[in-house]
Amino acid sequence: MYHHVKKLMYTVKVGTPDVRFGRMLLEQFGGANGELAAAMQYTIQGWNCVDDIARRDLLLDIGTEELSHLEVVGALIRMHLKPLKTEAEAAEADPLVTIAGGGGVALYNSAGNPWTADYLKITGELDVDLRSNIAAEARAKIVYERLIDHTDDPGSIDTLQFLMTREITHMKAFTAALETLEKRPFSIGRLAPTPKLVDEYFNGSTGIGDEADMDVRGPWTSMHGLHEVQSPMDGGEGLSIDHVDGVAGPEDRGKQDDGQRTTTAPELDELIGVADAKY
């Protein structure tokens, strides 16, 4: 059950409206890292936690707070877009917001693209979802930082600072919840990874020459049991075009011819005809 209280979580004050900045703020209203996406993601994840009451409560608490943040962002946007309703010049400068949204908020991002549920990361595996949430809060924090860089209005900066700070709070809460799952750090899902392979760091970007092309080593090649190996190519040299018809035996799989032969158009037509006849 939801109950709306006619108060904002944070009092929004705007000194001088800025239509340009108002449109930028739409990124946190209907964008991929915005408040609606966060509210929907955490809330639905919480509803899925039927067997974990404690973490269900966490997800619903933060999901509900994100709805409150959406209201704060919406109020800030409306105040910055106010000139669209009264000034023809401002309205002409931003016809999408003026015509499609009536000079108010709508579920679009700053580029005018509509909100989509594709933004949501919901797997039904709590440890995976919590990791997604930590990353989502980090992305939102960065977006708020960048928005602060594009305004000189003190009231807007104060509001964005509040919202940005709460992203860090949520990161701490999700991280704590992840740590209480008492799972090994890299125990994801239910199936065990392939032994040995899981600890091999593939050196897949090699080169010689100036410093920018040199191989660089770091802890990512040796920590957590990792060790560096050259990228393997155990699959063979590829599949010859001769084997497309499926008649090659197991002993031929992965073999290639001398690499010099090319296939002519009539040969391709013949192969396609064989495939059509079989399927």
Catalytic residues: 35, 66, 69, 137, 167, 170
Q: What is the DSSP letter of 202?
A: E
170 marked ligand binding residue: yes
Q: Which residues pair with 202 in a beta bridge?
A: 229
How far apart are alpha carbons 158 and 37 in whole angstroms? 23
Which of these, 85, 89, 86, lies nearest to 102 by C-alpha position?
A: 85
Q: Which residues contact 184 (CB under 8 A, 6 or more apart)?
A: none
How far apart are alpha carbons 31 and 25 in whole angstroms? 9
61 marked ligand binding residue: yes
251 marked ligand binding residue: no
- Give the three-class secondary structure for 14: coil
How far apart are alpha carbons 216 and 214 in whole angstroms? 6
87 marked ligand binding residue: no
118 marked ligand binding residue: no
237 marked ligand binding residue: no
Residue 59 contacts residue 45 (beta carbons within 8 Å) = yes
92 marked ligand binding residue: no
Residue 90 contacts residue 84 (beta carbons within 8 Å) = yes
- Start-to-end CA span in the chain (Å): 54
DSSP string, 203-266: E-----SSGGGS----GGGTGGG-EEEEPP-TT-S---GGGTTS---GGGTT----S-----HH
Which of these, 83, 85, 84, 75, lies nearest to 105 by C-alpha position?
A: 75
Annotated binding-site residue numbers for Ca(2+): 57, 61
Annotated binding-site residue numbers: 35, 57, 61, 66, 69, 137, 170
Annotated binding-site residue numbers for Mn(2+): 35, 66, 69, 137, 170
